[in-house]
Homo-oligomer: A and B are copies of this chain.
Amino acid sequence: MTSDVRRAEASSRRDFLRKGTAAAITLPAALSVVGACSESKAAAPPKAAAAPAAPPTPRQRADAMDAMHEKGVKSFPARTTGQGNQLLTPRLEKGVKVYDLTAEEVQWEVEPGRKVKAWAYNGQVPGPQIRVREGDRVRVNLTNKLPESTAIHFHGLELPNDQDGVPFITQPPIKPEESYTYDFTVPNAGSHMYHSHHNAAVQVGLGLLGAFIVEPRRAVAAQRADVDYVMVLNDGSHGYTLNGKGFPATEPIVCTQGQTVRVRFMNEGMMIHPMHLHGMHMTVIAKDGWDQPAPWKCDTLNIAPGERWDVLVKATNPGTWAFHCHILPHAESEHGMFGMVTALVVKPAVV
């Protein structure tokens, strides 16, 4: 997919999800197609009680809880400032794709109104998505505006040792206010990552991470997809996030019935996250960028820190489908769904 295609896709997604809404954020339109709930009025918070001293009835307590849950769902996808994982278009210099990254401290809005300290590449969490092709010549210029030294490890790329990004083993640390250039030919295809490898438990936790996607030299027919979606999982100091946001600020994945969606899961956190898709199964095609010898099916895929798993979903089943970590405390509290929850929205095919 070219960057233009992807931008168009993103834009159509947003249009689809917010169609005709400005002040009032509504449920994804797909819901009305496939059987939306009809109790939004009943779920309002309890009205003024009959007598001031009467404790709430179980039903009133249930209504109050449900109202919080409904509010979260109905605000999805909620607007926040900042979007991570945006495709970064390189400069071309004599056939070399040049990417400029600046690591710096920013405020990052994880959910509406919750802003956290982040260390980000180009102000994004995850950092901008780098997408190249096997065999490309690539240069990555990193400018360090952080108060600490840093370095970039290209996780999954089989680079020459001096490009591996491990301070004191393969390079000196990149000091505050200094710059450093990585320069290499992209050796192997797949879903990879780039992230700090210096004081990394802190630096990656704060946001110094991004997707590094390498398309194969020749397209592989079995991997053809209409939508190609990167999902970075994290659980550091920003809480439980998908692509840097917590529900309801996470981004839905939108497709049309009959399409094939490729999801590239990447875990940049410290915990496993078994991601569960409702309504359809996933076919696992690659691990850490390497084809699985025989694709296999599941609906819950356990993704450990540092792992990448690529799956295909054949979008046969129209509707809005919950897609979340199945460690339930990463996805739901008594106040409603939060954290590692998004949705796969399958629009009915137009006949």
Interface residues of A (CB under 8 A from B): 27, 31, 34-35, 37-40, 42-43, 58-59, 61-63, 65-66, 69-70, 73-74, 147-149, 153, 155-156, 158-162, 164, 166-173, 175-177, 197-202, 204-205, 270-272, 274, 276, 278-281, 287-290, 292-300, 302, 304-308, 316-322, 326-329, 331-334, 343
Contact = CB atoms under 8 A, between A and B. Distances in A.
B169 A66 contact: no
Contacts of A148: 58, 61-62, 65
B322 A169 contact: yes
Given A35-B160, A37-B172, 8 more contacts: A59-B176, A74-B168, A158-B279, A161-B317, A201-B333, A205-B328, A290-B296, A300-B308
B175 A59 contact: yes
A305 B305 CA distance: 16
Given A34-B161, A70-B168, A168-B37, A334 B293 contact: no
Contacts of A177: 59
Nearest to A319: B161
A63 B169 CA distance: 17
A319 B159 CA distance: 11
A123 to B, nearest CB: 20
A300 B156 CA distance: 9
Contact of A327 (B40, B270, B287, B316): B270
A276 to B, nearest CB: 5
Contacts of A58: 147-148, 176
B306 A326 contact: yes
Contacts of A276: 155, 306
